[in-house]
A and B are shown apart, each in its own frame.
Chain A
Amino acid sequence: MNPRPVEPPRWADRLLEAFLAPHLLEDVQGDLHEVFYKRVDEVGATKARREYGWAAVQYVSPFFFKAFRRGPSPGIHESVEYVQLPFFHPDMIRNYLTVARRNLVRNKSYTTLNVFGLALSMACSILIFMMVSYHLSFDRFHANADRIYRIVTGTGAANALSSAGVYVPMGRVFRDEYTFAEKTGRVATNYGTTISIPGTRSTNKFREAIAFAEPEFLEIMSFPFVQGRPAALAEPDRVVITEAIGQKLFGDQNPVGKTIRLDNRMDVTVTGVLQNIPANTDRREEIYVSFANLKPYNDWFHEENWTGISGNMQCFVLLKPTVPVAEAEKAFTAISQKYIKDATERKNVFRLQPIADIHFNLNYDGRMDKTNLWALSLIGLLLIVTACVNFVNLATAQALKRAKEIGIRKVLGSERAQLFWQFIAETGIIAVFAMLVAVGVAYLLMPLLNQLFQIDLSIMINYQLVGFLVALTILVTLLSGSYPGLILAGFQPILALKGKLSQKHVGGFSIRRVLVVGQLAISQILIIGTIVITSQMRFSQQSDLGFNKNSVVLLPMPVQEAAKMSTLKSQFMQLPGVENVSFCMQAPASQAVNMTSVRFDNRDKDEDFLIRTKDADEAYMPTFDLKLVAGRNILHSDTTREFVINETAVKALGIKSPQEALGKILITSKGRRRGPIVGVMKDFFNNSFRGAIDPICLRANLGEYGNCAVKINLQSRRETLTSLEKIWNTSFPEFIYSYQFVDDQVAQFYALDELILKLIQFFAIIAISISCLGLFGMISFMAAQKTKEIGIRKALGAGVESIVWLFSKEFIQLTGIAVLVATPIAWWAMHRWLQDFVYKIGIEWWMFALSGTVALSIVLLTVSYQSVKAALVNPVKSLRSE
């Protein structure tokens, strides 16, 4: 027979085969082909093919789809023939479901293990997905988010410092003199302002963060107004608040037109109400005051201040669509050359930080490290892989049991692809079932997770989540179903029916060994991670920071008046539990950073580095147990007369020994504060362990004493704290009392690390559980396989121990290999993590030994139950069956 030169398009035939009821396929296709060949002669191959395709498409219609279900009606066609139904025929699908259900019910324990393992890992990935997408959504909701930038400052000086803040006038100049931006808006935040309503009782007061904002700021950001509009802030003494704040202050009354008092000294009128701030932004201020009120509120923020940067003074710009970022950044250099006189300040570099980067850039007070998110996603993926590995292991182990079924199906004419898809369908059922369980588990775990990680997530059914769930189910189905499916579908029917298939036909033990090793290695890496991070956290919490942080409480000082402060101090000192009282700006280690220029002795210009200032009184050193290495403490004064500097500052100034520094003049804050160095203190940690120790100077400066540090006796801490509160409240009735232990403040340095640790612990436990499920399944299978062997061994006199050993040996080997695989990976990952710390622990061998031991014990514990059970079986029973 001559092969025809022209054929109808294959895809069209495929389409027909997929959609047409099989009893109709032959004649329909025949008719179409007949017409096709006729048309080839009439109009040529190309056109005929096109017509054929078009004609075939017409069969994708409800009528032919229904014909599918009805099938051939007996008695109308003269004979009912055996037809092979297409794969996705509803009857076939029903059949797959039936077969799957029977198989799953028959092997209840395997099904439970599988569903449980998959559900656990899926629940984790759902949670991880939600957490990651929550973080990635930060500040993306603003209408022009891709064009919104924040001006940030990097210092070119020796001790690099980056700040999210800029000079006060920077934004104004950029707006007035350049045309790169559509809008430029400044915003200055004050955390912890006392808010009250004039004319009401003094108890109705709150401490809130307030932001002094230009109207443009609220135009750039898309925080929707309920009442009023951004222009409301154009005039002084105006305030815009959120609905939540309105509710808090005025109940159900309309807040517009009402007056709010800030820090008991400035009245502003509500002219606008914002909707509540969404959870996924880091700009959490809910009270926006006119920018014109900033200078009266705090004189430092005046429009000519080019001498320093505060992280609280930030500037946002909405660039014009056509302006490249680099172009706009050039303007900042020009501005700083034009306006900044001081050489040190001029070394600052200004950049535009995209708003989407704000949440992630730790250099500029970001809250989350993106690497952590990717690491988290990777862990989620690994968990899924682990669970799929279990599935593959169990399914291939099971495969032999189904050899007869497969053999019969093949003999009856099932094709390889059909068997494969049948198995995938079976896996799909398990996956869908596991997914349902997982959603339930995730839903139940959500409140726990929120509490644990101090976030506010909720399961919101959006298209992203639904898409993720569908994709995850498909991924799991394919990952876990394809390999066993291929193995099953590949069985030789003759061997299968004769029962001559053996382990080597189902991929043997070696592939499963590899999978188990991979699984154990993943758990191993997570355990090592937990150990290393815990050690580093403990190191940072328990190391001697060079100052006393345990028994010092910080109380806010709302006013800085010498008389009031000295009265307060003497009242505190009379309390039996109080050991010392110092007024200061901050604790020795603090996230708030104050840097200033420094000039030493008779040198003709400022030093190349900035010095960190600790403004405090003479009681500071004894209160925090700071040690002197030379000279003496400062004497009492309300303004700076003399300095104590630390050893790092001595080195940075290039002086040989502390003794040499004594008596030399130091000039800080652009010449405004000068005096002799009277002492040198021992270095203490003033940063988290991520940062190096800064050069520091201690100086008196009454106007900056925002805190009162009280060293208390921990034995009577409760009574002392109560008394402190009482005295404080009588001294400052119109303000709100709060207190914080210094060690809690220090702990905040590591809040993110704490979070990562919790996550890793959580997922390590999950990963271990999943591996254990897998091991449990495997050992049960092995035990079932080796029943006879054990029987014979026992009959020949083998003891229980030797049989338990027979099983354990294998798993000990596997664990050993897993440790070898995991060690370098874990070392590398943890080494990378530790790189962020200037002061860190070393990674030591015992960490790996410990995690290996932990893993081994868990493995042995898991396998012991089954292996002991197998070893104890009476050999008469197991051998009689032959």
Chain B
Amino acid sequence: MRRAFLGEFEEIVLLVVAACSDEAYGVTIWEEVQQQTGRSITMSAVHATLYRLEEKGYLASSMGGATAERGGRRKRFFTLTALGVRALNDIQEMRNRLWEAIPPGKFQLIGG
């Protein structure tokens, strides 16, 4: 298995999908990403990232039932795959290792 590689934005989107309590689809993910990052992000960027993550195998999707407020169009719900979970874990672990590797007192020096 190839090493997980995630871009920063991809990671955020993946985390947002993971963090959603209800079923996650385009609009909710989009709103959440904006809220969490505090940045203004286009819908197309979110969609592109979602589909790319799906292609890489980190996300899976399924079509929901039709809803009236979308002109009868169905929603595509995204869920994390096992691979996606592992990718997030890998990243988290790597971060932790790096954090732990920081010599004590270094931050005070830099920050001070």
Residues of B within 8 A of A30 (CB): 26, 67, 70-71, 73-75
CA distance A88 to B48 in the complex (A): 21
Q: Which residues of A contact B26 (CB under 8 A)?
A: 27-28, 30-31
Q: State the Cβ distance, A416 to closest chain B Cβ, in Å.
A: 25
List chain B residues, Cβ under 8 A from A845. none
- Cα(A58)–Cα(B61), bound, Å: 23
Size of the B side of the interface (Cβ < 8 Å), in residues, is 28
Bound Cα distance from A32 to B27, whole angstroms: 8
Q: Return the contact of A26 from the options B42, B57, B68, B74 (Cβ within 8 A).
A: B74
- Alpha-carbon distance A718/B74, docked complex (angstroms): 97
Contact of A76 with B55 in the complex, beta carbons under 8 Å: yes
A34 partner, pick from B60, B63, B69, beta carbons under 8 A: B69
Known: A33-B71, A58-B42, A64-B48. A27 touches B63 (CB 8 A): yes
Interface residues of A in 176-194 (CB under 8 A from B): none
B44 and A31 form a contact (CB under 8 A): no
The complex places the Cα of A77 from the Cα of B27 at a distance, in Å, of: 19
B62 and A78 contacting across the interface, CB-CB below 8 Å: yes
B25–A27 contact, CB under 8 A? yes
| Cα–Cα distance between A24 and B43 once the two chains are bound (Å) | 14
Residues of B within 8 A of A63 (CB): 48, 51-52
Asked whether, in the complex, the Cβ of B43 is within 8 Å of the Cβ of A31, the reply is yes
A37-B47 CB under 8 A given contacts A26-B74, A30-B75, A76-B55: no
In the docked arrangement, what's the CA distance between A549 and B19, Å? Answer: 106
Q: Which of B25, B44, B63 contacts A58 (CB 8 A)?
A: B44
Residues of chain A with a CB closer than 8 A to B68's CB: 1
Nearest-Cβ distance from residue A23 to partner chain B, whole angstroms: 10
Taken together as a complex, chains A and B put the C-alpha atoms of A28 and B63 apart, in Å, by: 12
Q: A60 to nearest B CB, angstroms? A: 9
Distance, CA A25 to CA B111, complexed state (A): 49
Q: Which residues of A contact B74 (CB under 8 A)?
A: 26-27, 30
- A55 at interface by CB-CB < 8 Å: yes
B69 and A55 form a contact (CB under 8 A): no
Q: Which residues of B contact A55 (CB under 8 A)?
A: 42-44
Q: Which residues of A contact B67 (CB under 8 A)?
A: 30
Residue of B nearest to A57 (CB): B44
Q: Is B54 in the interface zone, CB < 8 Å from A?
A: yes
Q: Is the interface of A mostly helix, strand, loop or mixed?
A: helix
Asked if A362 is an interface residue, CB under 8 A from chain B, the answer is: no
- A35 at interface, CB cutoff 8 A: yes
- Is the CB–CB distance between A61 and B73 below 8 Å? no
B55 near A26 with CB under 8 A, answer: no
Question: Do A31 and B48 touch (CB < 8 A)?
Answer: no
- Residue from B30, B44, B76 with most neighbouring chain A CB atoms (10 Å): B44
Q: Residues of A contacting B45 with CB < 8 Å?
A: 58
A61 touches B55 (CB 8 A): no
Closest A residue to B55 by beta carbon equals: A73
Tell me which residues from 10 to 66 in chain A have a Cβ below 8 Å from any Cβ of chain B: 24, 26-35, 37, 55, 58-59, 61, 63-64
B4-41 interface code vs A (CB 8 A; 1 in, 0 out)? 00000000000000000000011100100000000000
Return chain A residues, CB-CB under 8 Å to B51: 24, 63, 67
Q: Which of A543-586 touch B at CB < 8 Å?
A: none
Name B46's closest neighbour in chain A (CB-CB).
A31
The answer to whether B73 touches A26 (Cβ under 8 A) is yes
Task: Tell me the minimal C-beta distance from A160 to chain B in angstroms.
Answer: 74
CB distance from B10 to the nearest CB of A (A): 13
A577→B75 CA distance, assembly (Å): 106
Taken together as a complex, chains A and B put the C-alpha atoms of A31 and B42 apart, in Å, by 12
Within 8 A of A (CB), among B68-93: 68-71, 73-76
A62: nearest residue on chain B (CB-CB)? B48
Q: Closest residue to B45 on the A side, CB-wise?
A: A58
A58 touches B54 (CB 8 A): no
Contact between chains at A35 and B48 (CB < 8 Å): no
B27 touches A59 (CB 8 A): no
State whether B73 touches A33 (Cβ < 8 A): yes
Report how far A70 CA is from B48 CA in the complex, Å: 14
| Residues A29 and B42 in contact, CB atoms below 8 Å apart | no
**Interchain CA distance A825-B44 in the complex, whole Å:** 62
Q: Which residues of the other chain, B, contact A28 by a CB distance below 8 angstroms?
A: 26, 47
B61 CB to closest chain A CB (Å) equals: 7
- Out of A27, A64, A76, name the residue touching B60 (CB < 8 Å): A76
A48 nearest CB across to chain B (Å) = 13
Q: Is the CB of A37 within 8 A of B55?
A: no
Given contacts A24-B51, A30-B75, A34-B70, whether A77 and B44 have CB atoms under 8 Å apart is no
| Residue ID in chain A nearest B76 by CB atoms | A27
Which of chain B's residues have a CB closer than 8 A to the CB of A1?
A: 68
State the CA gap A78–B42 with chains docked (Å): 27
Q: Contacts of A64 on B, CB cut-off 8 Å?
A: 44, 48
8 Å CB contact of A59 from B44, B57, B63: B44
A26-B74, A31-B26, A61-B44 given; name 11 further pairs at CB < 8 Å: A24-B51, A27-B73, A27-B75, A27-B76, A29-B73, A31-B25, A31-B43, A31-B47, A31-B75, A34-B27, A76-B57
- Name 23 interchain pairs, CB-CB below 8 A, sorted by A: A24-B47, A26-B63, A26-B73, A26-B74, A26-B76, A27-B26, A27-B63, A27-B73, A27-B76, A31-B47, A31-B70, A35-B27, A55-B43, A58-B42, A59-B47, A63-B51, A63-B52, A64-B48, A67-B51, A76-B61, A77-B61, A77-B62, A77-B63
- Give the A-binding residues of B (Cβ under 8 A): 25-27, 30, 42-45, 47-48, 51-52, 54-55, 57, 60-63, 67-71, 73-76
The 6 closest A-B pairs by CB, nearest first: A30-B73, A31-B26, A27-B76, A58-B44, A30-B70, A63-B48
